[in-house]
Structure 1
Amino acid sequence: MATMPDTLIKLAGRHSPQALRLALGAVLSPAQLQTLDVLHADEADLTYVYLALAADAGQAAVDAGPALHEALRSACMALCPQPELVGLHNTLDLAGHASGSHAEWHYIVETDVRPEAEDDFNAWYSTEHMPGLAAVPGTARARRYLGTGAPRHYATYDLAERAAFGSEPWLAVRATAWSSRVRPNFYNTRRTMFRRADDSTRG
């Protein structure tokens, strides 16, 4: 299983793992940069990067907190004038139908939800929606995170086959009565399909 990320970097433009390692090398050790997970949006000029700072850097990175994120943000400005860094806290991690398969594709849903609907939203994600999508043929892994800033909620899906997204089983999970009740409470929502960079590496 891949190392659990605890930081997400969002960058305008398409940036290679080599360019990211060069920029981030001022802040991170070579060992940390060996597990850089670089994602390019399939239909947008956008790069997302997952890092596992706490696991790789030890307690010092955890204690550094905001100062470390600010150093990373400054380093990323060599690539993008307004990089965004998001701290991630994992709340659900499910092996998928295709667990263990190479996952070239990565789908992310980022959203906020109206406060009065949050309990229903969390119950739906944990007991129906994410387990249902994890069970779709071609899904390798499904995870939920709480992020710092807005949007606050992240749902991520590693896909061994891009065709899993939008397949009949996938659409059936999205079309339940509970889904129809919850989804109108979303706002500040972004849905993006990514493809892993060829030389991206995960621990």
Structure 2
Amino acid sequence: MLDPHAPVLLAWLQALPADAPSLAPATLQALHAAGARALYQAVQGGEARLYAPADADMAALRRLLPQARWLRLQPLWHRAGQAAGRPAPWHYVVATDVLPEHEADFNAWYETEHAPGLAAVPGTVQASRWLCEEAGPGSPRYHACYELAEEQAFGSPAWLAVRATDWSSRVRPHFRNTRRTMFRRVDLVPLAPPA
């Protein structure tokens, strides 16, 4: 698991290589050996996200995934969720920009109402926010990530209630360049066989 309080490297891939939907086991193990800690494949489409600590072997990671766009994410906020400690095979990401004149309100909403509310939804393992300061065109600066124990947490009545507040309605129209994606975790190392 990544340290939610330290910068991370994000490899964003529009699509996995030709052997999609999964990389060869040897490639997965090589990514892990180079420092990668989490790989997620979009439930729909070919998008993938790979996370590594900022001190990972960047040269090796670039050789293994030459088509990836690498971004450095700075931690903004983290909270354990209602289901803290449970396995989290689901990874929901909202990546967005916001109009500059609404950025302070956007950040206050995320950190005091929205993200804490979603962390408290049954099935949420953890919630975190990240900032990509060097994001270019097509790469949103803000990334909100939710680790989920079950996919049904997303879209549950409790989840939808958090999204339906007056403050949410006021902030959301100021989002720009937004991507909302549900991912499924891909194991980088083989799981131990059951005992």
TM range (shorter): 0.7 to 0.9
Asked if the contact 1:40–1:46 (Cα under 8 Å) also holds between the matched residues in 2, the reply is yes
1:2 Cα offset (Å): 4.2
Structure 2 unmatched runs, 5+: 191-195
Is residue 178 from structure 1 mapped to residue 186 from structure 2 by the alignment? no
1:140 Cα offset (Å): 0.3
> 1:51-200 residue pairs with structure 2 within 5 A?
51-54=52-55, 68=58, 72-73=61-62, 75-77=64-66, 80=67, 83-147=68-132, 148-149=134-135, 150-199=139-188
Q: How many residues were matched structurally?
A: 178
Which residue identity does 1:18 align to in structure 2? Answer: A
Q: Greater shift after overlay, 89-98 or 36-45?
A: 36-45
Structure 1 unmatched runs, 5+: 58-67
How big is the alpha-carbon RMSD for the aligned residues of Structure 1 and Structure 2?
Answer: 2.2
1:53 Cα offset (Å): 2.8
Which residue identity does 1:108 align to in structure 2? Answer: V
Judged with a 3 Å threshold, the aligned counterparts in structure 2 of structure 1 residues 43 and 36 are, in CA distance, closer, same or farther, namely same
Counterpart Cα distance in 2 of 1:41 and 1:97: 24
Q: Would you identify which runs of 4 or more consecutive aligned residues in structure 1 move more than 4 Å? A: none
Identity among equivalent pairs (%): 48
Partner of 1:39: 40
SS in 2 for 1:125: helix
The TM-score with structure 1 as length reference comes to 0.79
Is residue 3 from structure 1 mapped to residue 3 from structure 2 by the alignment? yes
Counterpart Cα distance in 2 of 1:18 and 1:109: 30
Q: Which has the higher helix share?
A: 1
1:45 Cα offset (Å): 1.1
Judged with a 3 Å threshold, the aligned counterparts in structure 2 of structure 1 residues 199 and 126 are, in CA distance, closer, same or farther, namely same
The TM-score with structure 2 as length reference comes to 0.82
